[in-house]
Structure 1
Amino acid sequence: MESNKDVFQMLTILVSILCIGGITADTLCPDNWTAFRGSCYLFPHNNLSFHDAQRFCEHLGGYLTHVNDATENAFLKSYLSDLKDSIHWIGLTDEVTEGIWRWYDNNQVANFTNWHILTSEPNGGKAQNCVYIAEGHGYEWIDAPCDWKRTPLCEMR
């Protein structure tokens, strides 16, 4: 039987190994999720409407991704580009008030955006209330009808 001292030493070694690898307690993620700056991201491959995508993420304990700043946006763009993964819903919508873009799960107004400039996004008015990112648009943001099928991009904290 191991003593408390031995168990403590083993835990200390384990924590040291994890920290050397760049993993900290706040970035430990479930299997198949990717850690970045305190969040975990899932890049699934099933096409769903915006609302079904949100429910999918919620079922897994998360929500459609919030992109809060340029650093997080660059990470997502790079990761998706490396995966050669093309089109994903993020959690932004203006369904409640046209032109006021809010994160669906908490109703907070987005402080950062990365709209696709060449197509003058957001450009869909009341017919396009949900946002996806797409490889064909440099992973910049596009507004679209919420019933279109896109792959969810889930996040959990």
Structure 2
Amino acid sequence: MSALTASISKLEQEKNQLQIEKDELLAKLATKTITKAPEVIKPATKAPIVCPVDWHLFNNSCYFISRTTRDWPESQSFCQSKGGHLAIIHTAEEQTFLWDLLPRGHWNAFWFGISDEHTEDQWKWVDGNPLVGGFWEVGEPNNHIDEDCGYIVKTQVMERVAIRSWYDAPCSMYWPFICEKEMVAGASTAIPH
């Protein structure tokens, strides 16, 4: 019995170590994507995309992680006032890039640009396009208490991963949020503060 317990404990330690290594590899992959992005988007005749202060470049978009909290509609209005919208996340690379920017905490939640407020279980992005796939946590979305807006969670638990971090919640909750502004090379990057 004690041999089995020791074996289980050893396997759990190995699993945790592998999870940490996987998270580090995902972070490195996101970093490599970031460093390669300017080469991909920099035409010979135009200046490269430069994001404003406190905004982060990934592919052709600049992203802003708020430090203040608002409900989901107010978050979308704030992003629109900056010339963007709540973040629209289509790929695992984009999801991992954003998740890696978020601080860890007890339950750090950030609104992004998805909701099913018009038709239950028909999740749509803020640009009106339907969700295909997604990076929901197991068992989510669950519409537990009329939960029509999507958010990303990053906690102190190292086993949590970027590609399983979406939850649904009531749109009236106050959380920080993630804005996205699509950019074009050589365009003005002035975003009002």
Same fold (TM over 0.5): yes
C-alpha separation between the residues in 2 aligned to 1:58 and 1:132?
18
Where does residue 148 of structure 1 map in the other structure? Answer: 173
Residues 20 and 128 of structure 1: CA distance in aligned 2, closer, same or farther (over 3 Å) = closer
Where does residue 134 of structure 2 map in the other structure? Answer: 113
**Displacement of 1:44:** 1.4
**Displacement of 1:22:** 4.0
- Higher mean displacement: 146-155 or 71-80: 71-80
What is the identity percentage for the equivalent residue pairs of Structure 1 and Structure 2?
A: 31
Q: Kindly indicate whether residue 106 of structure 2 is the aligned counterpart of residue 87 of structure 1.
A: no
Where does residue 6 of structure 1 map in the other structure? Answer: none
Q: Kindly indicate whether residue 53 of structure 2 is the aligned counterpart of residue 31 of structure 1.
A: yes
- Higher mean displacement: 56-65 or 126-135: 126-135
- What amino acid is aligned across from residue 143 of structure 1 in structure 2? D
Where does residue 146 of structure 2 map in the other structure? Answer: 127
**Displacement of 1:112:** 3.4
Where does residue 57 of structure 1 map in the other structure? Answer: 79
Contact 2:88 2:125 in 1 (8 A): yes
Count of aligned pairs: 134
| Cα displacement string for residues 18-66 of structure 1 (whole angstroms, at most 9, x for unaligned residues) | x999474463212211101111000111110000000010011110000
C-alpha separation between the residues in 1 aligned to 2:37 and 2:134?
31
Runs (5+) with no aligned partner, structure 2? 1-34, 183-193
Contact 2:37 2:59 in 1 (8 A): no
Q: Secondary structure of 1:127's partner?
A: coil
Contact 2:38 2:48 in 1 (8 A): no
Where does residue 97 of structure 1 map in the other structure? Answer: 119
**Displacement of 1:126:** 7.1
C-alpha separation between the residues in 2 aligned to 1:121 and 1:69?
18
- What amino acid is aligned across from residue 145 of structure 1 in structure 2? P
TM-score, normalising length from structure 2?
A: 0.63
Residues 44 and 37 of structure 1: CA distance in aligned 2, closer, same or farther (over 3 Å) = same
C-alpha separation between the residues in 1 aligned to 2:38 and 2:130?
32
